[in-house]
Amino acid sequence: MTSPKVTLHRPLVAAIAALWVVGIGLAGYAAPLAWRRSGVTSAVPFIAVIVLGALLARGVLRRSRWALRLSVVLLAAQIAGVVGSAWQLIHGVDETKGRELHRLGVNPRFGVALNLVFSSAAVVVFAWAAARWFRHRPVGRR
């Protein structure tokens, strides 16, 4: 099995960490808004993203196997985010999601579009990692 440390070279590790930092920033923006407008329980998911995102970004930058592997899985999962966000932009933002974004003071279509951009970037980074993995895997496994 190819080591994630070989497959995920410095530019790719930097891109993954940058995505997590952007996610931390988005959650950091939303957490105080959620807290002020809906109470502490509404802010808890955003606070969790901040804490876990920081741990993950730190692990990625230190090239820890657990962080690199978990990152690749989470990046792959963003394919669902792309599909879901695109669906909502085409067919209308889900009422529950729209209310939640509206409570945060964010235009629901803008919020979903921002999610589409983030998820799309994550999928591109995942594709980059997958391409490197296929290129560097042992010859006997091709």
Q: Quick one: pLDDT at residue 137? A: 76
Residue 82, sorted as left (phi over 0), alpha (psi -120 to 50) or beta, turns out to be alpha
pTM: 0.86
Q: Map tokens 């993995």 to a residue.
A: 133
pLDDT per residue as tens digits for the range 14-48: 999 999 999 999 999 999 999 998 889 999 999 99
CA atoms within 13 A on the CB side of 89: 15
CA distance between the termini of the chain: 12
Task: Give the Cα separation of 100 and 75 in Å (integer).
Answer: 24
The one-character DSSP state at 63 is T
Residue type, 12: L
Task: Give the Cα separation of 48 and 93 in Å (integer).
Answer: 25
Residue 61: is it exposed, middle or buried by C-beta count within 10 angstroms (0-12/13-18/19+)?
middle
CA-closest candidate to residue 3, choices 104, 72, 103: 72
CA 82 distance to own-chain centroid:
11
pLDDT per residue as tens digits for the range 81-101: 999 999 999 999 999 989 989
